[in-house]
């Protein structure tokens, strides 16, 4: 219950205050969103498995966002451009699919 309220509150604050995103942060934002989706779906699945832990959820979320941002930054510095961003999206995408499938099996038993 708190969780849903907190999520809605976060979205509301973000939409209402519309903080100015500095230009250098621009390329990391989409990657951070994908990492956040991965963490949220992972948490949801853990909850359905009955092993959810709030601390693990928060730490894994922040850790994933930081590592994803680091890889994108490294790609920029090495000149591989968008290719390392693609790698991040692919890996996180596979995890998102896997977790979504597990949630689906829990919910629909199929």
Can you give the binding site for other proteins, defined by CB under 8 A?
2-3, 5-15, 18-19, 21, 26, 29-30, 32-33, 36, 39-40, 42, 45-46, 49-62, 65, 94-95, 97-99, 102
Spatial separation of the C-alpha atoms in residues 39 and 56, rounded to whole Å: 10
- Closest approach, Cβ 38 to other proteins, in A, equals 9
- Closest approach, Cβ 31 to other proteins, in A, equals 10
CA nearest neighbour of 88 among 80, 43, 25? 80
* Closer residue to other proteins in complex, CB, 46/71: 46
Phi-psi region of 109 (alpha: psi -120 to 50; beta: other; left: phi over 0): left
């Amino acid at each position: 219950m708190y969780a849903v309220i907190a999520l809605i509150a976060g979205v509301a604050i973000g939409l209402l205050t519309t903080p100015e995103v500095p230009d250098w942060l621009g390329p990391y934002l989409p990657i951070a969103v994908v990492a956040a989706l991965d963490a949220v779906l992972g948490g949801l699945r853990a909850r359905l498995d009955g092993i959810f832990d709030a601390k693990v959820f928060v730490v894994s979320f922040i850790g994933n966002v930081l590592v994803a941002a680091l890889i994108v930054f490294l790609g920029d510095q090495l000149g591989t451009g968008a290719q390392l961003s693609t790698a991040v999206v692919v890996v996180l995408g596979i995890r998102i699919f896997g977790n979504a499938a597990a949630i689906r099996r829990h919910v629909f038993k199929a």
